[in-house]
Structures are given as C-alpha cells and as structure tokens.
Amino acid sequence: MDTLFNHFTTKKLKVFACYIFICVVSGCGVSDKNPIEAISKYASDNTWQPYDGMQVEQVSNKDYFAIPFMPVTVSATPNSMKIADHLTAAGIYYSQSDAQVVEIAAKALALDIQSVTGRKAQALASKPKGKSTILIGTIGNSPLIDELIANNQLKVSSIVGKWEAYTAQVIKNPLKDVEQALVIAGSDRRGTAYGVFALSEAMGVSPWHFWGDVPAPSKPALYIAGQHIQHSPAVKYRGIFINDEDWGLLPWASKTFEPETGNIGPKTYATIYQLLLRLHANMIWPGMHEFPRETTPFYLMPGNKEMADKYAIVISTSHHEPMLTNSHEFKEDVHGEYNYWSNKETIYKFWESRVKETADYENIYTIGMRGRTDVGMLAPEGTTEAGKAKKIQNDIIPDQRQMIAQHVHQNPTQIPQIFIPYKETLVQYQSGLELPDDVIIVWPDDNHGYIRQLSTPEEQKRSGGSGVYYHLSYWGVPSSYLWLNSTPPGMTYAEMIKAWEFNANKIWIVNVGDIKPHEFGTEFFLRLARNPEAFRNFDQRQYFKQWTERTFGQKYAEDIADVMQSYFSLNIVKRPEHMHVSGTNTFSMIAKGDEAAVRLNKFEQATQLANQVYQNLPEKYKSAFYQMVLYPLRASYLINKKELLAERSRLWAKQKRAATHLLAEQSIQAHQALLAETQFYNDINANGKWQHMISPMPLSELPKWAYDTQNPWRKAELGRYQAPDKKQLAVALEGSENPLIPTDIGILPLFNRAADTRYFIDVFNQGKQASNWTARANRPWVKISQTSGKTDARITLSIDWDSAPNGTEIPAVVTISDNDRKFDIQLKVFNPANLAFGSLPAAVENKASVEIEAENYIAKTDADNGVGWQQFNNAAASEHAMTVQPFTAASIELPQLQTRSPSLSYQFYAVSTGKVKIYSQALPTHKITADHPGVRYAISVNGDKPQIIDLHSNEYSKLWNVNTLRAASIGISEHQINQTGIQNIKIWMVDPGVVLDKFTVKFDESAIPTPLH
C-alpha cells in the first residue's frame, strides 16, 4: 500500500489513491469483477533505463544499417553451419508452448530462406533432428531452449530478464540427433521474433519485402558461424500511428487487399505487424479516422486485437482516445454528450467496457480526456483550462486508474499508461495538472516536426519517464501534409536526439499516415529509436547511400543518394502539399536570379537522374524504386511545375505578356501528368498491388475546411491575358514585377566584381505580331547573352572583368529596342584597382544582400566546460545547421556572454555602407522545457553591443503559422556599417536548442536604385 501511495505526489492525489484502494477492497463502482483477482501477466515495474541497463558497444564506422546478427555468407567458413543451398534447407524448430509470435517468425523465416535460395524450408514444432537445424524460442517459455540452457549448451545470463534482447549462437551437437544448430533465444517473445527477423535481414531480406516490394537477393547458399548478443533497445516502446487513412490505407485495404471486410481488418494488420517486427518495433496506434471515410474502430473489427496479440504488438491509442476506445465509437445520439461533468456515468461505463475487453492483452492505456473529435474537452461554460486540468487530475484520471486496478492489474502503477499533452492539453498541464508519478508523459511535436516541450530535471525524476509523439504526416493548421514524405532525416534526427538527451526514452511513436509513401521516414525513425547513440554526428547522405546499397545494390548508390538529397532539400523548404495557394508563392520570380526557375531546374535535374537510374536498374528493382524514390520525386516536380508555372502565368498576365496562355497550358499539362503518374502508381506499378493507395477525393464530397487535404489534386489558378494583334515590345528588369515604361530610364544595382554580379532582363511582346528587337551596350566590356531576337527572351548581363576599367562606380548603358520602342538601362560597376579579390571572404555583397550559411563560420570558440557549437548535417531548410551541444547546456545571460558562452564568428565583404538588417534563419524549434526562458541567441556586428533575439513563437500564432510552412524562424537585428570592406559578425548561444541555418544581410532598401522618370 505504501508503495502505491508513493506514486502520488500530492496530498490531494493521495486522497484519491485512498479512494481507489477502498473501491478495490470493497468492490464499489460499476464492475462486478472482484478487483483483488485482477492480475496481468504483462505487469512490471514501470521504471526504465535505456537499453534496459545493458552495456552497448558503440561503433565508429557509421554503419547505420549494421545488422544485429552474425554475418551470413554464401560459402562455408571455419565452424560454419549451412542454413540452405539449392538442394537442402535446415529445419526450423520451435516449441508449441511458446508464444504465437515465435511460430509466426519461424514460418516467415522458412519463406525468407526459400525466397533467397529457392529451397523450401520447413518450420516445425516437433522434436529437432538433422545435420543442420535452426532452434528458436523464448527463455522460460520454450522447453527446447530451456533444455539447452539446463545442459549448459547455451549461455543466456547476459539477456535473462532483459527487455526484447536475444542471443544467437552456432552450437555443435546441442541435442540428440542434431549435429549442428543455429540457436536463437529471446529474453521475451518479441526478443525471439527480433532475433529471427534479424537473421532474415542478414540473409538479405528487406523489412520492406511486402510493403515496398523490395526483392530478396538470389544466393546459391547460406552459411553462418559464431555468436551474437543483442542488447535491449534504447527506447522501450517504439511504434507508428496510422492516421488520416481516408485517402490511402483505408481504400487500399477495403477495395484491394481485404475486400472481404470492406475496411482495415486483421489481414491488413498482420502485414503491418510483421513490418513492425522486422523493424524491431513493438507498438501501434491503429487507424481511427471517422471522416470523410470511416475506418471501422479497431476493437469493433473481429480479429484485430487477436492478431495483434499473435504478433506480440502492443496496442495503444492516440491523444484523444482514452482507455483504448476509438473516438467515433461514442455516438452522442446514443450515449449523450461526451462531457464528464454532465455524463460521467455513461462515459465511465463506455471506457470500462473496453478495459474489461482488453484486460488480457498487452496494452498501453491513454489517460486523461479531450473532445471526441480531436478538439478540447467539453466543459461547463466559463471553465478555464486550469479548471479542466483539475477535473482531469481529480476526477477523470483517478476513475481511469480505478478501472485498471479492478480489471487489469490490482496495482495500476505496473501497467503502462500515457498522458499526451497535445494542443490545449499542454496548456492544461502547464497550468498545474499533476499526474501520478508512474504515468508516461508523451511530449508531442507541434504537428510539423518540432517538439513542443520536454521534461525538466524535476520532471525527469518521475518513475514513469517520458517519450515523444512525432509527425511525418498531418491534417490540420496552418496547412496539411498527408501525401508525400518530405521531412529530411537530418531534421528528424536533430529533434529526436534532443529528446534523447532529455531522457525521453520510454516511448517514441510517429504519425506515418498511410505508411505509404512514408516508407523511408518510418524506417529512419524506428531505427533511430532502437539505438540513438549509433546516430551521433548523423550524416544524412551516408545514410541515403547505405539505404540504397541495401535496397538496390551498390551500382547506383551514389546517384540515388544524390537524388534523395535533392528530394528532401527541395521539399522541406515548401512541402508539396503546401504548393497550392491562391496568392504568391515562397519563391521569387523576379529576384535572386529567379528563385522559382532555379527551383524547377533543380527538380528537373534530379528527376532526369532518377529517370536514368530507373531505366538502367535491373527489372526486379524497378517496382520498389518507383514507389519509394521515383514517384515521390516525379510527383513533387510536377506539383511544383503546375503551381509555379500557374503563378508565373499570373505574373505574365499582369505584365500583359502575349505568351501568357503558353504558361497556363504548361501548368495544365503538369497537372494532367501528375494524375497520370498517380494512376501508374496505383494501377500499373507492382501489377496493381497498391491500387487505391493514393486516392484523391472530389472537393464536392468535402466541406470547405477540408479542401486543403486535396491540394495536390486541385487545379491551379491560371493567369489570363488577351493580347492585341499589334506588336508591343516590353522589358522587365530583375527585381521588378512591372515592365519598364519607355520614357523612364531603368537602373540596375551595382555590378560587384567580388561577386561576379549578373542581372537578367526579360524582353517580351505584349502583342501578337512579331517584334524584331536588339540589345546593345555602349561599353564593350558589358556582356549580353543575347543581342537580338524575334521572340520573348531572358537576357543576362555580365561584365568582362579583365577588360573593364578600374573604379568604384563606372557607368554603362544597355539599350533594348525595336523600330517602335526603345528602353535605356543604366548600370554601374564596382572594380577597384588595388583590391586583392583572392583574399576576400567567400561571402560578399551582391545585389545589396549577403548570404552566409551557418556552417561557413571562420572561427568557433567553445565554453570552458566543453559546451560548443556543432554542425548538424541536413538539419535545416538551407541544408546544414549549427547548434550547441549538448542540448542540456544551461542558458547564458547577457553579462556572461563574453566569458561563458560558446560563439561563432563570420565575415563578409561589403561595398555599401549604412543601415543593415540581419535575418538570422533557424529551425522553428520551441523552448526545450518549461524551465527554459526562450529560444535565444545574441548577435553583434563589428563589435557593437550584442543584441539578444528570441526566436520563440507561440503555437498557432500567425508567426508560428508562417514559420512551420517555411521550416524556418527568422530573427531580425539592425546594425550600422560605417565603412566598406570586411565586416565581422559574432553569434553567441543564449539558450540551447537554437538550430542556426543561415544569415542574410540586407542593406537599406533606399540604397537600391529605382527607375528615373
């Protein structure tokens, strides 16, 4: 009794603990079951150490796909055992009394051996015999394994009692009638299954053989030798959330794979559970969506929970599904209002019924309460979040734990329970909601990949510990992303290694939407959860290369790694689902060398390379490559092409370009090509296996607030302009949407030799008749890419620096004309005589701006305690990033910056003076814990007083909306530059958790020339 009370941290909670105890003893409540008899075979001490306290050897060779098993070879080695060749295969033996998942794993292994060697293997529950055998089982549950242990044939002391650990060893003469055996013994039922599937992976069978159609290699024989001890995973519970499955998994399962149920049933879940086991995962939040297509609630589908138990998968439910209930099981027209103030008894019985039903299974119970439809909980009018917190703390959670005590296990502290402070629930938690000490806090991200909060040092003392709920897919504000996997692994790593450092090691669960096409992100997340320390100093491109080698072989690994680098770096700046907008897009068409065109060119280059790989790949790999690499890339390119060309057509219409309709037609063609590509994915690739996996829905079937879920399939808003017959030459300068008026003189900003400045000028016709135009410069050292034409053209101006005279403002004029119109454009050149250009920093002013990537510092100073800035590869929108390590470093205040804070120094060369603004771009992360003051850094230019800038934005604020859509928060500081030449920027850490991406220095816009009238 005292032990139970110690898990309640306040007097009020201890009173409720007494209440629960009295109810347990007296039998009060709505249950008629004697609570004293409630004993769960899955009960355990809820404390957890990473790797279950086992020693973990960290390797330095960065093999992210190191297989946790002995190597399997195609030829015999000393003391090796033959698993199979084209003539024979070792028998696979297990005990009938072992867990069902062991039999499942044994039979899967038999099929895997056949897929690799062509030789059929048998999985048997009979007495082992043969020259070579495979013996598998769970310590304490398998008489087969226990006999080996009793006879000192198998040493298991290192894994006994551990969580999901296993050992494998080749043993001679282990049993009568067995000459040699490969023994795989698990510390528990999942440990055994993981060991078996690790052997499959060592043979070359991909975890994605079903869900990604990755073919097994063909090998003449399989041999194995030696032994392996596999430690427990770092994170105790590792799993996925199937969510928003309306347009993918649900229509595929109900129409293609499992039409006999017409929904997501046990046949579908069996394939998912096996995928999880092959990825060494152990839990799932099942699909639960109600609208616009309704998934049958998990527990209402016969066979679902039984199948989970067969595969040893832990079932839990999401943040608004308490006590394993599905939100839309509760029908308000039947059960009344989902309001614990006014309808407590009905809701209590609703929850309790599910607890009774699932008491004999391995579950994790979500506690607390939110609204039925993923909104805030219903409460009497005027109830504050603090008032709701009190209701949850003092009424709802005690009732829920009473159900567990009565029906699952008499000591609820030994049954895992989670509290997820999601959206408004975090506000309730922050307002003082106290939880039982053993409850696991699962910290959510902000739905866009940035963790909202982690545990303070005080919260880390709780026995329940904490975990993370992360998103790779999301339906909600400010805009949904439900289609493609676009979160770079480097960005996921940056957030999850931070969670790891703050001891969030109890549960890692990731929202993967429909699983497809999120294969890559799903595997990365779950591999990271198994052993975060193996990912220290993560190299994303190396990970891509290794994934490609494992999946498609070595020949095209470099090319495919390049393709994947391009795919993620382009898509995180603006996700494919976010491209559809009615106004202007993120990418300028008039500045920065035409950002939009540069983006499309990069997509085109990556797609061309991927197409080339696809054509050259062996036929057996093409289906897998298409669905996991090529379709996501082609689709991303096409939606960017559709939307950016549509936006450019709107710009051209504004500029009255006669060719506007051509761009509009190209946008329509891109849209049609996207639909055709998706049809190929569904109906033709893999012989139609994934038909309906990507299922767009007509907007007419959706309310307006759900339209953004269909953004990829919506037609773009096109520009329209009816050109007159008469020709009319027009010119638009880089940096301006408006065409130049013939009576005005166009002025281009300074051409800087140090930056080799170039500007483009668009020459176009506003009428239908042809215009013969020319472009001439009054100085021979001004280079023009095209000097005449009859059609629209973009010409580029540059300088022949070897011929240009010296000076700081050397003038020149470019004239563009036909026989009706003439445009003069003035320019000036900065080409000083005695400037040593070779000695300048890499960052130089160009077009009144300077860009510096955060990793391109010239000096780095660490603090005396070793805290310092470290590069995180591919962690930010502009590729690499810099952040302070460890994340657990203490915040620094302004008086201590010079003496205690780690710093970064940068240099750039300026040809202008005056006021500048520095836009410091970083990941839009949140304050790490409730104890952290902010997300702050300090900045100084040329030794001026450091300014402290806070990047924190409140979730759901306008600034947060903007930040999440661009994968960046931007701090702005103002400075004064008094002299041209080399300038110095210094950055200090103020708070840990700032992940710097790049700096943009912008000079006073008044210094930028405008046309002369």
Whether residues 600 and 663 fall in one domain:
yes
Quick check: bond before 488 cis, omega within 30?
no
Is 443 within 8 Å of 453 (Cβ atoms)? Answer: yes
**Half-sphere exposure (CA, 13 Å, Cβ side) for 190?**
28
Whether residues 285 and 423 fall in one domain:
yes
What's 641's domain CATH number?
1.20.58.2150
pLDDT for residue 178 is more than 50: yes
What are the residues facing 417 on neighbouring strands?
A: 365
DSSP 629: I
Mean pLDDT of 505-527: 98
Domain presence at residue 55 = no
Quick check: bond before 946 cis, omega within 30?
no
What's 331's domain CATH number?
3.20.20.520
591 confidence band (pLDDT: 50, 70, 90)? very high
Whether residues 856 and 827 fall in one domain:
no
pLDDT for 798 equals 98
What's 921's domain CATH number?
2.60.120.1620
pLDDT for 1011 equals 59
End-to-end CA distance of the chain: 89
Q: In angstroms, rounded to a whole number, what is the distance separating the alpha carbons of residues 284 and 272?
A: 9
CA of 411: how far to CAs of 49, 272, 281, 355, 407, in Å?
21, 32, 27, 15, 10
Q: In angstroms, rounded to a whole number, what is the distance separating the alpha carbons of residues 7 and 25?
A: 19
Q: In angstroms, rounded to a whole number, what is the distance separating the alpha carbons of residues 371 and 214?
A: 41
Q: What angle do CA 926, 931, 934 make, to 5 degrees?
A: 40
Owning domain of residue 192: 64-230
In tens, the pLDDT along 26-62 reads 333 344 444 457 899 999 887 899 999 998 877 667 8
Q: In angstroms, rounded to a whole number, what is the distance separating the alpha carbons of residues 253 and 257?
A: 5
Strand residues in 887-952 grouped as ranges (E):
903-910, 914-922, 936-941, 947-950
pLDDT for 481 equals 97
Q: In angstroms, rounded to a whole number, what is the distance separating the alpha carbons of residues 690 and 687?
A: 8
Whether residues 981 and 993 fall in one domain:
yes
Whether residues 820 and 855 fall in one domain:
no
Domain presence at residue 724 = no
Q: In angstroms, rounded to a whole number, what is the distance separating the alpha carbons of residues 352 and 620?
A: 51
Domain presence at residue 58 = no
Q: In angstroms, rounded to a whole number, what is the distance separating the alpha carbons of residues 571 and 712?
A: 14
Q: In angstroms, rounded to a whole number, what is the distance separating the alpha carbons of residues 881 and 861?
A: 17
- Concatenated DSSP letters of 532-546: GGGGTT--HHHHHHH
Domain presence at residue 574 = yes
Residue 828: other Cβ atoms inside 10 A: 17
In tens, the pLDDT along 292-301 reads 999 999 999 9
492: its two tokens: 């996921």
Of 837, 863, 889, the residue at which a domain comes to its end is: 837
927: its two tokens: 């304050």
Q: What angle do CA 203, 204, 205 make, to 5 degrees?
A: 100
In the block, residue with structure tokens 């907008």:
581
CA of 991: how far to CAs of 119, 271, 852, 890, in Å?
60, 45, 22, 7
pLDDT for 35 equals 45
**Half-sphere exposure (CA, 13 Å, Cβ side) for 314?**
24
In tens, the pLDDT along 787-807 reads 999 999 999 999 999 999 999
Closest to 233 in 3D by CA, of 57, 54, 65 = 54
**SS3 at position 23:** helix
pLDDT for residue 198 is more than 70: yes
CA of 207: how far to CAs of 194, 535, 584, 801, in Å?
11, 20, 42, 57
Spacing of C-alpha 674 from chain mean position: 24
Region of 864 please: left (phi>0), alpha (psi -120 to 50) or beta: alpha
What is the length of the chain?
1013
In tens, the pLDDT along 222-256 reads 999 999 999 999 999 999 999 999 999 999 999 99
pLDDT for 374 equals 85
Whether residues 679 and 753 fall in one domain:
no
Closest to 183 in 3D by CA, of 217, 137, 241, 146 = 137
Is 727 within 8 Å of 790 (Cβ atoms)? Answer: no
731: its two tokens: 């010119």
Of 837, 856, 877, the residue at which a domain comes to its end is: 837
Is 187 within 8 Å of 160 (Cβ atoms)? Answer: yes
In tens, the pLDDT along 346-393 reads 999 999 999 999 999 999 999 999 998 888 999 999 999 999 999 999
Closest to 193 in 3D by CA, of 315, 100, 328 = 100
Closest to 398 in 3D by CA, of 360, 435, 428 = 435
Whether residues 257 and 371 fall in one domain:
yes
Alpha helices in 80-122 (DSSP H): 100-117
Main-chain dihedrals φ then ψ at residue 106, nearest 5 degrees = -60, -45
Q: In angstroms, rounded to a whole number, what is the distance separating the alpha carbons of residues 132 and 120?
A: 15
Whether residues 486 and 611 fall in one domain:
no
Q: Residue 975 belongs to what H/E stretch?
A: strand 969-977
Whether residues 737 and 687 fall in one domain:
no
CA of 62: how far to CAs of 66, 358, 493, 525, in Å?
9, 42, 15, 17
pLDDT for residue 14 is more than 50: no
DSSP 911: S
Domain presence at residue 34 = no
811: its two tokens: 């003038």
Helices and strands (H, E) in the chain, number of each type: 23, 38
What are the residues facing 859 on neighbouring strands?
A: 905
Q: Mean pLDDT over all residues of the chain? A: 94
| Alpha-carbon dihedral angle through residues 898, 904, 905, 911, given to the nearest 10 degrees | -120
581: its two tokens: 């907008």
Of 686, 713, 740, the residue at which a domain comes to its end is: 713
Is 222 within 8 Å of 309 (Cβ atoms)? Answer: no
pLDDT for residue 1007 is more than 80: no
pLDDT for residue 288 is more than 70: yes
In tens, the pLDDT along 414-470 reads 999 999 999 999 999 999 999 999 999 999 999 999 999 999 999 999 999 999 999
Burial 157-191 (b: 16+ CB within 10 A, else e): eebeebbbbbbbbbbeebbeebebbbbbbbbbbbb
Domain presence at residue 246 = yes
Listed in sequence order, the residues at least 6 apart from 322 whose beta carbon sits closer than 8 Å to its beta carbon are 351, 365, 366, 367, 368, 369, 400
Closest to 183 in 3D by CA, of 199, 205, 162 = 199
Is 745 within 8 Å of 825 (Cβ atoms)? Answer: yes
Strands 130-138 and 91-93: parallel
Q: What angle do CA 194, 197, 199 make, to 5 degrees?
A: 110
Whether residues 887 and 824 fall in one domain:
no
pLDDT for 585 equals 63
584 confidence band (pLDDT: 50, 70, 90)? low
In tens, the pLDDT along 116-130 reads 999 999 999 999 999
Domain presence at residue 544 = no
pLDDT for 1006 equals 52
Alpha helices in 443-539 (DSSP H): 489-501, 519-530
Whether residues 255 and 172 fall in one domain:
no
What's 70's domain CATH number?
3.30.379.10
Domain presence at residue 430 = yes
Spacing of C-alpha 2 from chain mean position: 43
pLDDT for 327 equals 83
Q: What is the pTM of this model?
A: 0.95
Whether residues 736 and 885 fall in one domain:
no
Main-chain dihedrals φ then ψ at residue 504, nearest 5 degrees = -85, 80
CA of 481: how far to CAs of 249, 850, 923, in Å?
16, 32, 18
Residue 375: other Cβ atoms inside 10 A: 11
Strands 123-124 and 91-93: parallel
Q: In angstroms, rounded to a whole number, what is the distance separating the alpha carbons of residues 946 and 939?
A: 5
- Lowest-confidence range among 424-428, 566-570, 915-919? 424-428
Mean pLDDT of 588-596: 94
Count of domains in the chain? 5
Angle in degrees, 0-180, between the axes of helices 489-501 and 519-530, rounded to the nearest 10? 30
In tens, the pLDDT along 648-658 reads 999 999 999 99
698: its two tokens: 């007509």
